[in-house]
Amino acid sequence: MSARARRSAAMAAAVLAPVAIWAVTDPLLGHPLRITDGEETLDLGAAPVAVVALLASLAGWALLAALERLGVRRARAVWTGVAVAVLAVSFLPLAGDGMDSGTRTALAAMHLAVAAVLIPGLAGRSRVHS
């Protein structure tokens, strides 16, 4: 499988993984994902979950491609370090108020799911078949 095909498949899986978590949490278990900021409440549905995962995936792929094209030594290792740092920072908003523990847990699982698919999927090497 070519690097482009592998990375495209990783992006698709990175979008589907958090949507699957949303589908289990919200419609199946009946726990709507809600974030409250003062008087405003944001209900998280499948579409926003998919869009955010897609944007994160595209940004990750763009950064990796830029590092590779610029000839950065060990571009994949650098990118992996950046991806892990971004994952860690993505948990900071989950420490704040405005959501219950179920929503917090589901969002944390979504962040981990995207990273678990995207980091090895984008940074991994293609296998050469003989």
Contact 49, 19 (CB under 8 A): yes
Residue pLDDT, tens place only, 82-95: 999 999 999 999 99
Rounded distance between C-alpha atoms, residue 125 and residue 55, angstroms? 23
> Is a pLDDT exceeding 60 seen at residue 127?
no
Per-residue pLDDT, averaged over 46-51, amounts to: 97
Q: 14: which residues sit within 8 A by CB, 6+ positions away?
A: 53, 56, 57, 113, 114, 117, 118, 121
The predicted pLDDT at position 96 comes to 87
Amino acid at 56: A
